[in-house]
Amino acid sequence: MARFSFTVIALLALGACEQGSDSVGPRGGTIVSEDGRFSLDIAPGALESDVDIRIEEIPCRGMDVDAVGPCYQVTPKGMGFLLPARVTFELDGSMHDGVPAEELALIVAHGSEWTVMADRSVDLEDGTISASAVYLSSFAVAHMK
């Protein structure tokens, strides 16, 4: 019986997470990029109504810093949240090899400028970097020398 319950819970959890795009509403949800390296976790109450949200990998352009790994655009670009959402990048070894955690930053596009997200959290053991987002935009990991 326990094995059956675990399987049902795992399948339900997978159903709540759409690869690349999904409609998310007041109940919140998580969207993961098609390659599985970037995710957006929207808290319950962060949206007033359902919104179709899409994540796509884009070329890293117009940056004053070196992007480490892929850049992602999350649309509808510029849409804000009532409560912050959490963006998370999965880091592979080549993205942070020899780079101290304090030199990795999560950056967000604001118009044509890229800015460092203030509350970023780096966990090299877990292989993630995450931060709070208050609006949808383009996101990347950068090496801040």
- What are the tens digits of pLDDT across the range 83-101? 999 999 998 766 666 777 7
Question: Between 36 and 21, where is the model more confident?
Answer: 36
Pairwise CA distance, residues 94 & 68, whole Å: 9
| pLDDT band, residue 8 (cuts 50/70/90) | very low
Q: Domain spans of the chain?
A: 19-143
pLDDT of residue 97: 66
Question: Between 15 and 35, where is the model more confident?
Answer: 35
pLDDT of residue 29: 96
| pLDDT band, residue 27 (cuts 50/70/90) | very high
Question: Between 40 and 126, where is the model more confident?
Answer: 40
The predicted model gives 12-25 an average pLDDT of 60
| CATH classification code of 19-143 | 2.60.220.30
Q: Residue 141 contacts by C-beta under 8 Å, 6 or more apart in sequence?
A: 67, 68, 69, 89, 91, 95, 104, 105, 106, 107, 129
pLDDT one-digit tens code per residue, 67-87:
888 999 999 999 999 999 999
Q: Residue 35 contacts by C-beta under 8 Å, 6 or more apart in sequence?
A: 57, 70
The predicted model gives 49-53 an average pLDDT of 96
User: In degrees rounded to 5, what are phi and psi of residue 74?
Assistant: -115, 125
